[in-house]
Structure 1
Amino acid sequence: MIRFNNSNQAVKKLAIACSITFSSLTVLAQNARIVVDASRVLNKIPDKMYGSCIEDVNHEIYGGLYDQRLYGESFEEPAPADKIAGWKTLQGNWKVADGAVSVNSGPGYKLIRENPVIKDGSVEADLKFGKENQIAGFIVRVNNEQEGMDDFDGYEISIAPQRQALVLGKHVHNFKLLKEVKATFDKDAWLHLKVEVKGARILVYLNNNSSPAIDFTDENSPLLSGKIGLRTFNADVKFKDVVIKQNNAVIKNEFIGKQMPAVSAMWDGIKTGTVNGKFALNNSDAYNGKQSQVLEYAGGAGKLGVANSGLGRWGISVRKGQKFQGYVFLKTADANLPITVALQNADGKKTYAFVKFTSNSKLENWTKFAFTFNANATDTKARFVISIDKKGKLEIDQAVLMSTGKDQFKGLPIRADIATKMQQEGLNFVRYGGTMVNAPDYKWHNMIGPADKRPPYEGHWHPYTSNGFGIEEFVAYCNAAGFEPAFAINVEETPEDVSNMVEYLTGSATTTWGKKRAANGHPAPYKLHYIELGNEEVIWDDLTNDYKHYSERFNLLYDAIHAKNPDIKVICAAWWRPKSLENMEMVFKAVNGKADYWDLHTDADEANAGKIVDKNLQNMHDLFLKWDPNTKLKVTIFEENGGLHNMQRALGHATTMNAVRRQGDFVLTSCAANGLQALGQNDNGWDQGQVFFTPSQVWGMPPFYATQMAAKNHAPLRVFDSVEGDLDVTATRSESGDELILHVVNTKSTATKTSVDVDNFTAKAPIMVSTLSGDPKAENTPQAPARIATKESTLSATEKTFEYSFPANSYTILKLKK
């Protein structure tokens, strides 16, 4: 800006004219222009906006944050499926009998024929459903297959007995329904299913009908070749008489299964030397859960045992001198049976630590054996072994191995390296919830007391899930880490149980349930202010009765919570449908005046995701005020979702944070999901962790750094800004007015040269610059954990107008100080 001291009006006018002409030419020469007025405060910025969402999906908790180093602690998993010649098993207990193959109910279990790759051809078989009968059938043109519900590319052709339908869907590591048709059949009888693929055309036949029930041509990037497979989704089903044809030639298929040893699937059987022994699973007298592992040593010389290599057999990381603690429950009718627990390398040739104890008498009841280890070497892929080396029978259940000292976070059963990384992200709010809470057996009272007696349960994401880390551990972790905790509960919990939960967590140690908390080791009440009732309720369809049911459950549980602690803020989890205004208004009226926030889940994969988020938040705000001008109901974003964790996702997160700043205190927080992810252990489509980890390493992905930058540069007030060009911008300042911060996101593939005009703020050089940029597809890896990371620099600019070139695909923060 130009200042005039000359009183000559003619000179002033000439100078102004020249200034205007010069400024216009300058703007025309720029790609963008930002104007900021630091004196015009528009709204407050949510002080808890730097959030993260964690749940036990993709092993964020059990196998991750929870310090239990063993996976399959309760031996609940059945023995591995039969090894079927020519077929690859991707989850599920596939068994061969009488020429047929059967599988238990589960979330997307697959059996893939390894050969041939088929371009055009057909597959047909007879199917018979059991008690669980949601959906099952074929998958064809399969590629890139992995364990996980939708982790493959291909077409799904399935029978859905419950809704009397045939389903054609397309998977590209996700699911898209292509066509569903009604069909009449006896769901308890053998059904014949056939599919033909001819180029992009797919024909589906049921029960030997000559006319196809589905005739569909995929005109959107059709999948034209691949393997064939069998798949179930929440159905126990048998397949027999599978006939595969290619080029009109029949490819012979015969199910030949080799029975695997009866070792719980997360463990491996060990036999050394000449030992004569066998393994068994006992489901009649387990210590915890439904079954225990049995070792029967009959003779010979050597060791008989079971080994656990952690989550997905990725290994247990040990350091030389590192101390571990653990216990295992044992039972034997044989006195003086030597039992060894050990840390070994992957093939058992090296032992890093061991404890040997002998049953001095018969252990007719389950007995807890505690131990400690000091590793004598470093190995990132070690294993834990329980073994016997003399004749006898040993039953094993509930095995635990944890770290100690600095490797646990503040004395909690939590991996310190992961917990500390979350702190380094700059988080101040963490939500524990997601689809895991919708599992019928997700009950809070199963998550308290001694961990070894907490029953394992059938989770949504994993059929055999640990309660070792539960709501109490989550709240304790957040309190210790300095995060504001919020958690979701199953909306079908009883009011009495919810009342007890609130008293247990927040009540005085003199109350009934507060005494139980104190007895469990935590006399002081936890700091807790937010509870969510349910998760994504009625996401399955726009059903008025289901929304009514949720509203009724909300009010019952709200009353139970507030009867114990009226300071708890309660969050509504009804799935927001902006095109279903009648149902949305019905829920609003049911929870208005009680719910403090409505949970909106957003998408953040696209770099400019914030534009849609801003629009949706404004729409909710307008509707709330339309339905009740005096409402105090606000919104919280408890899940920013997607399937990416790269630089593009970081930009989507950054633009989302800009949207939240614009909406001000109408929004409580924005929790990017997923907070954590185990490398290489993704078994569904939610490939979106901010913090990645292995047994020995923890690092941030690009979205991690976006959060870290924003949190580090938080200011409580948003001020006026205007933008000419494609940049996404918010401007904030401190209460005192001595700091001004610009959050600028450039989603373009080219740098944007920008003129920045700052009014009513005189900055001192230098301007601090934080930049996160890179190829949109770039990710951080164990080998290059900081490939995409924040870079700090300074900008020398003393004038109120300065130029800056914002890099391509970047999130930049400019921090000005007086």
Structure 2
Amino acid sequence: MKIPAFLALIVALAAAAPTKAQSEAASKPISADLFGIFFEDLNYAADGGLYAELVQNRSFEYAPSDHDGWHPLTSWDYLHEGFAMGSVSVESAAPLHATNPHYVQLRIENPFQKGLGLRNHGFDGIPLTAGATYDFSLWARVKSGAAMPLLVQLQDAQGKVLAEATLSAQAAGWQQYRATLTPTATAAAGSLVVLATGKGILDLDMVSLFPQRTFRGRTNGLRADLAQAIADLKPRFMRFPGGCLAHGDGLDNLYDWKKTIGPVEQRTAQRNIWGYHQTTGLGYFEYFQFCEDIGAKPIPIVAAGVSCQNSGGSWKIGGIGQQCVPLADMAAYTQDVLDLIEYANGPATSTWGAKRAAAGHPAPFGLQYIGIGNEDKQTPEFRERFKLLYEAVRAKYPAVTVIGTVGPSPKGEDYDQGWAFASQLHVPVVDEHYYENPKWFLANQQRYDAYDRSKSKVYLGEYASWGNELYNALAEAVYMTTLERNGDVVQLASYAPLLAKEGHIQWKPDLIYFNNATVVPSVNYYVQQLFGQNQGSTYHAGVVRLPTGAPADTAAAASCVRDAQTGDVILKLINLGPQPKPFAVDLTRFKGLKTAATQTTFTGPRNAQNTFDSPRTVLPKVASYKATKRFTYTAAPFSLTVLRVRGTR
């Protein structure tokens, strides 16, 4: 008997529509913290970068061990205006603080009205904006003579005075003096001048110039535009203060969080493993505060009782290799790690919680994760020290999730041994790293599908596809859909490195490039931003049917997640090929969806880049879109499209 056409249509639709059981089987909860950021003081990311201080070498602590040819007066010029007579020297006999041992002494024999002093050139010049306000401060001590008048100026590159203030140093002991300066003109590469215009001997230290406009108006804060670019990624977490930076270049260079808190003049500066200097003005309090300001969970990384295995350039002849904290000292080192957690989470009445409160944050920061180690060589000495630290944290702070480490590569000896060790200890999360070419990311889309869900979860702490062309970014986007698909085992993921300053780039590719005046987000940045701004709570398989030939067609990928807070369904469609590709979408399983949707497209030529000369070559474009229960979306060549279909909770 022939079935009427309308009945046949009903039967066909019923067969096509997924049952409730099928829909539930095709969906799963995924990590609420999946996409975040990793900050390391590499490529001048901190001093001269995110940290808003404009004076370079403000406390005269630069040394040849920081960088070849550096010394305590690097970035400073000695000025003796007109016929002024005197001398300048760097002293250490009676410093401002024992942790800040060097200061400058000016001996002014005859100022001849114009004065004698110093000029600072900042980091590639001091950028000044007409009408903006800048906070100047220094610490001074009058060693001999009467009160010492000081003339403070902001000058442009030709020496024209754009702002000035006068101060009077009077105390025989160290005292801080302040002034506010407002330039009358803009200068891309200005300088700060401090002149003593009286007769006598004067000591100076911690000479500082800060824009009043910092991110969120924070004192000792961050560069506003650069911090905002990071905030716009909507990261769920931030890993800091670095990877290699954390375990340092030898034991004497381990990153000690306790030396980075408190008054900035009492913090300990030290050489940077990447070959320059860190003032630690951007220290642990500022890291935690920034995480809170941008809504990112903090993930501090501490050394696992060993230094970087590449210490002293051990890949070369003569390197010192991995050094280990002596076992006799591990109890004290372990206590430092426990104290860090108390600093973050302890009440204001606790020893370290009180220090956080004294810095202006009585409430705990709510630390949930801590990383122990970074890409460490899986030696018996490393394992012994990691186990001590891991067990101590787990015993005292069971609610804090420890993240272990499995080496610098997606495979190999350290990877295999690291995973075996993590499984033996039941470490909850391990940190994988890999930098590979785009082909690797496309060929490894099933990497996490086969991971044992009963073992440690994964933090993909560092990854990038060796390039800042659109093709690289889209290859990363393809891979990020697999991270969403495996968001039950991949708990966290962050591109690396985050920042790079023009003229000081030590590692490429990077996510955000900048100079003193401009912030240039790479094309990779916009992929990270689109995923970061469109994170979901559950992953839904089978919603999008890939173009013919997929999944063998590795140049196409898609994912579907739903945001539990808004009810929105979010589709990410990637076409890495040179021709348009259709994606068939079936939303019939979802209840409460509206037809209103937002379409964000990110597309351009395969080799397109955002550069300082052309910073807006490729940008996301947003438009409205009308979604139906079933539809086909044709994706442009070399594109990432995000369709956000409005829903209800």
Change (3 A) 1:384 1:418: same
Do the aligned partners of 1:609 and 1:655 also contact (CA within 8 Å) in 2? no
Question: How far, CA to CA, are the matches of 1:617 and 1:656 in structure 2?
Answer: 11
Aligned AA (1:372): T
Structure 1 residue 575 displacement after superposition: 0.7
Go from structure 1 to structure 2 and tell me whether the alpha carbon gap of 1:92 and 1:642 turns closer, same or farther (over 3 Å shift): farther
Secondary structure of the residue aligned to 2:49 is: helix
Could you tell me how far apart the structure 2 residues matched to 1:470 and 1:44 are? Answer: 35
In structure 2, C-alpha distance between the alignment counterparts of 1:70 and 1:510, rounded to whole Å: 36
Asked if 1:779 corresponds to 2:583, the answer is: no
Query: 1:634 — aligned with what?
Result: 457
Question: Given the alignment, which residue of 510, 513, 516 partners 1:688?
Answer: 510
Written as runs of structure 1 = structure 2, the 5 A alignment for 1:659-738 is 659-678=482-501, 680-690=502-512, 692-721=513-542, 722-723=545-546, 724-725=548-549, 726=553, 727-734=556-563
- Deviation of 1:320 after TM superposition, in Å, equals 0.5
Residues 608-619 of structure 1: matches in 2 within 5 Å? 610-611=441-442, 614-618=445-449
Deviations 1:456-497 (A, max 9, x none): 112212443212212222112111221111010122271121
Equivalent position to 1:280, from 76, 83, 89: 89
Aligned to 1:499: 338
Structure 1 length-normalised TM:
0.66
Q: Distance in 1 between matches of 2:414 and 2:246?
A: 27
Q: Which piece of structure 1 moves more, 267-276 or 734-743?
A: 734-743
Structure 1 match to 2:641:
812
| Aligned mates of 2:563, 2:181 — CA distance in 1 | 52
Q: Does 1:600 align with 2:427?
A: no
**Counterparts of 2:83 and 2:147 in 1: how far apart (Å)?**
21
Judged with a 3 Å threshold, the aligned counterparts in structure 2 of structure 1 residues 780 and 570 are, in CA distance, closer, same or farther, namely: same
2:5 aligns to what?
Answer: 6
- Structural mapping, 1:435-514, within 5 Å: 435-439=244-248, 440=251, 441=253, 442-492=255-305, 494-514=333-353
Structure 1: 5+ residue runs without aligned partners? 17-36, 82-90, 95-261, 539-545
Q: CA deviation at 1:776?
A: 3.8
Aligned counterpart, 1:790: 620
Unaligned residue ranges in structure 2 (runs of 5+): 14-21, 306-329
Who is 1:753 aligned against?
581
User: Match of 2:462, as an amino acid?
Assistant: E
* Residues 126, 189 of structure 2: 8 Å contact kept: yes
The match for 1:345 is 156
- Are 2:111 and 2:196, in contact at CA under 8 Å, matched by a contact in 1? no
Q: Give the % identical residues.
A: 24
How far the C-alpha of 1:552 sits from its partner, in A, is 1.6
- Give per-residue Cα distances to partners, 1:382-403, cap 9 Å, x unaligned: 2222222344443322222223
Residue identity opposite 2:463 in structure 1: E
Q: 2: CA distance between counterparts of 1:667 and 1:506? A: 26
Distance 1:425-1:576 versus aligned 2 partners, 3 A rule: closer
Which secondary structure does the structure 1 equivalent of 2:370 belong to? strand
Would you say the 8 A contact 2:442–2:475 is kept in 1?
no
Instruction: Specify whether residues 578 and 652 from structure 1 end up closer, same or farther in structure 2 by C-alpha distance, changes over 3 A only.
Output: closer
Q: CA deviation at 1:661?
A: 0.9
Q: Which amino acid aligns with 2:602?
A: L
Q: CA deviation at 1:643?
A: 4.8
CA distance in structure 2 between the partners assigned to 1:510 and 1:420 by the alignment: 34
| Per-residue deviation, 1:760 | 2.8
Q: Distance in 2 between matches of 1:387 and 1:737?
A: 59
Cα separation, 2, equivalents of 1:639 and 1:271: 50
What SS does the corresponding residue of 1:64 show, helix, strand or coil?
coil
Is the Cα–Cα contact under 8 Å of residues 324 and 374 in structure 1 kept in the other structure? Answer: no
Task: Summarize deviations over 1:297-337 as a string: whole Å, max 9, x none.
Answer: 444734332222322x2323334142424333445333333
Residue correspondence of structure 1 range 522-541 to structure 2 within 5 A: 522-538=361-377
Q: What residue is the counterpart of 2:212 in the other structure?
A: 404
Conservation of the 8 A alpha-carbon contact between 2:457 and 2:489: yes
Residues 1:55 and 2:40 are matched in the alignment: yes
User: What is aligned with 1:333?
Assistant: 144
CA distance in 1, matches of 2:10, 2:345: 69
Deviation track 1:347-383 (CA, whole Å, cap 9, x = no partner) reads: 3222313233243x6x3x4333233333344333322
How far apart are the structure 2 equivalents of 1:8 and 1:345? Answer: 82
Matched residue type, 1:351: L
Shift of 1:57: 0.8
Cα contact 1:753–1:806 (8 A) shared by 2? yes
Residue type at the aligned position of 2:150: I
**Distance (whole Å) between structure 2 residues aligned to residue 326 and residue 550 of structure 1:** 44
C-alpha distance 43-521 of structure 1, shift in aligned 2 (>3 A):
same
8 A Cα contact 2:34 2:492, kept in partner: yes
Instruction: Check the 8 A contact 1:331/1:395 in 2, yes or no.
Output: yes
Q: What is the CA deviation profile of residues 446-465 of structure 1, one whole-angstrom value per residue up to 9, with x for unaligned ones?
A: 11211111111122124432
**Cα pair distance change 1:737/1:76, threshold 3 Å:** closer
Aligned residue number for residue 421 of structure 1: 229
Aligned-residue offset at 1:431? 0.9
1:527-564 superposed Cα distances (whole Å, 9 cap, x missing partner): 111111121112xxxxxxx4322222222112332344
Deviates more, 1:447-456 or 1:502-511: 502-511
**1:307 partner letter:** R
- Report the counterpart of residue 570 of structure 2 in structure 1: 741
Match of 2:122 among 310, 332, 353: 310
Greater than 6 Å deviation, 4+ residue runs: none
Change (3 A) 1:514 1:358: closer
Partner amino acid, structure 1, of 2:579 = A
Alignment partners' CA distance in 2, 1:710 and 1:683: 26
State the Cα deviation string for residues 68-125 of structure 1 (Å, max 9, x = none).
22121221225999xxxxxxxxx6229xxxxxxxxxxxxxxxxxxxxxxxxxxxxxxx
State the structure with more CA Rg: 1
Q: Is the 8 A contact 1:45 1:717 kept in 2?
A: yes
Show the 5 A alignment for 1:116-131: none
